[in-house]
């Protein structure tokens, strides 16, 4: 899996040379490149942000710098939009009012004027590019002009961490672990201009925005590290013991929290492990663990119980 990360603090990702991730890089399972967004600036200050339109605190990352960077890394032709001086459709205010819909053609060279950002926000709906859908799209599309734009299936999935986006879940990690190439864009400050994901969606790029939880971080770097670890540990050959993935919390059909774990000794500082775990009866152990997983999930994360696939709870016990 090829992974590109864009950040104003690319050194942040030096830690990916450590531990299991470092080993996976050495084995060639993952190939990570962290880019500095400022390399795509042209001004002496290498500035990447500006004040928010409409007022408010903080700074917002500018679309033009991101676009130069992302066009490069996605292998897209730069857009050739020439805003007309008195065209209300190109103004910021009009972008939210315009009714023009976004063309679904993947290889459009330029952003349509007056694109309605909301209309193009499909909120992480596109499937990962390994399915037949992407190819079907390409064959249904009108003949595209000859250009250097790679077909959608060869393009990375573009992922922006965003505290105001849908939650990143194990399901997303699993889906993204099947992609060949991921491109993460780390926002800083008050976030990034909303037209950036909207524009690349309109170009046919599979764009995802995810939050990693209900709290606020200073930037996307930590969130990208979290997502990256959740995704890459699912790659075949990444984990020393692939079985450890199968039985964990949030995985498998049940998506329950995991039962508690104990190691030896059977009694430590006066606290015994549950007797059933010492019984040697695998059927009983399995039932005990499943009951405990269910009880703990009900107590700690009742929201997961509501989403539960009930069939998973009646799976047969281990046959030993
Ligand atoms: Cl993805 N980014 C930031 N800045 N804060 C977050 C987050 C992401 N997810 C939760 N908090």
Burial status of residue 36 (CB atoms within 10 A of its CB: 0-12, 13-18, 19 or more): middle
For ligand 1, is residue 185 a contact (CB within 6 Å)? no
Instruction: Give tens-digit pLDDT for 34-56.
Output: 999 999 999 999 999 999 999 99
Candidate of 161, 184, 191 to mutate for ligand 1, largest count of ligand atoms within 8 Å of Cβ: 161
Cα 16 to Cα 112, 160, 213, 229: the distances in Å are 39, 19, 22, 9
Query: Is the pLDDT confidence value at 210 over 90?
Result: yes
Query: Is the pLDDT confidence value at 264 over 90?
Result: yes
For ligand 1, is residue 226 a contact (CB within 6 Å)? no
Prediction pTM value: 0.78
Q: Residues marked as binding for S-adenosyl-L-methionine?
A: 187, 212-217
Question: Do both 204 and 255 map to the same domain?
Answer: no
Candidate of 8, 216, 219, 221 to mutate for ligand 1, largest count of ligand atoms within 8 Å of Cβ: 216
CB-based contact 197:228 (threshold 8 Å): no
Minimal-distance CA residue to ligand 1 atom 6: 163
The Cα angle at residue 189 between residues 38 and 113, in degrees rounded to 5:
75
Among 35-44, 171-180, 203-212, 238-247, which is the least confidently predicted range?
238-247
Rounded distance, CA 276 to CA 197, Å?
53
Q: Residue 265 sits in a domain of what CATH number?
A: 1.10.1270.20
Question: Do both 176 and 77 map to the same domain?
Answer: yes
Question: Do both 107 and 167 map to the same domain?
Answer: yes
239 belongs to a structural domain? no
203 or 139, higher pLDDT: 203
Domain count, the chain: 2
237 belongs to a structural domain? no
Task: Tell me the mean pLDDT in the region 212-228.
Answer: 96
Structural domain including 278 reads 249-313
Query: Is the pLDDT confidence value at 130 over 80?
Result: no
The closest-lying atom of ligand 1 relative to the alpha carbon of residue 210 is 1
Instruction: Band the pLDDT of 101: cuts 50, 70, 90.
Output: very low
């Amino acid at each position: 899996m090829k992974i590109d990360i864009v950040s104003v603090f690319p050194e942040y990702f030096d830690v990916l040379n450590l531990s299991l991730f470092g080993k996976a890089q050495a084995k060639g399972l993952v190939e990570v490149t962290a880019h500095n967004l400022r390399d795509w600036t042209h001004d002496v200050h290498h500035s990447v942000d500006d004040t928010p339109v409409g007022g408010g605190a903080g700074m917002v990352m500018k679309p033009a710098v991101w676009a130069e960077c992302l066009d490069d890394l996605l292998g897209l032709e730069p857009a050739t939009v020439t805003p007309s001086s008195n065209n209300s459709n190109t103004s910021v205010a009009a972008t939210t009012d315009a009714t023009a819909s976004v063309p679904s053609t993947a290889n459009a060279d330029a952003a349509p004027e007056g694109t309605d950002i909301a209309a193009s926000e499909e909120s992480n709906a596109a499937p990962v590019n390994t399915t037949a859908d992407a190819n079907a799209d390409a064959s249904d599309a009108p003949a595209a002009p000859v250009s250097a734009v790679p077909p959608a299936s060869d393009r990375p999935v573009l992922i922006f961490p965003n505290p105001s986006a849908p939650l990143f879940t194990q399901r997303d990690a699993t889906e993204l672990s099947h992609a060949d190439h991921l491109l993460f864009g780390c926002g800083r400050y008050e976030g990034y201009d909303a037209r950036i994901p909207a524009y690349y969606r309109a170009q046919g790029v599979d764009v995802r925005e995810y939050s990693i939880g209900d709290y606020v971080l200073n930037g996307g770097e930590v969130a990208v590290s979290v997502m990256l670890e959740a995704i890459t540990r699912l790659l075949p050959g990444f984990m020393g013991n692939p079985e450890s993935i199968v039985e964990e919390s949030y995985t498998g059909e049940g998506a329950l929290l995991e039962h508690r774990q104990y190691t030896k000794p059977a009694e430590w500082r006066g606290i015994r492990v549950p007797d059933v775990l010492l019984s040697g009866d695998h059927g009983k152990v399995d039932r005990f663990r499943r009951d405990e997983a269910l009880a703990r999930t009900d107590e700690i994360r009742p929201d997961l119980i509501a989403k539960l696939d009930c069939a998973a709870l009646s799976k047969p016990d281990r046959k030993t």
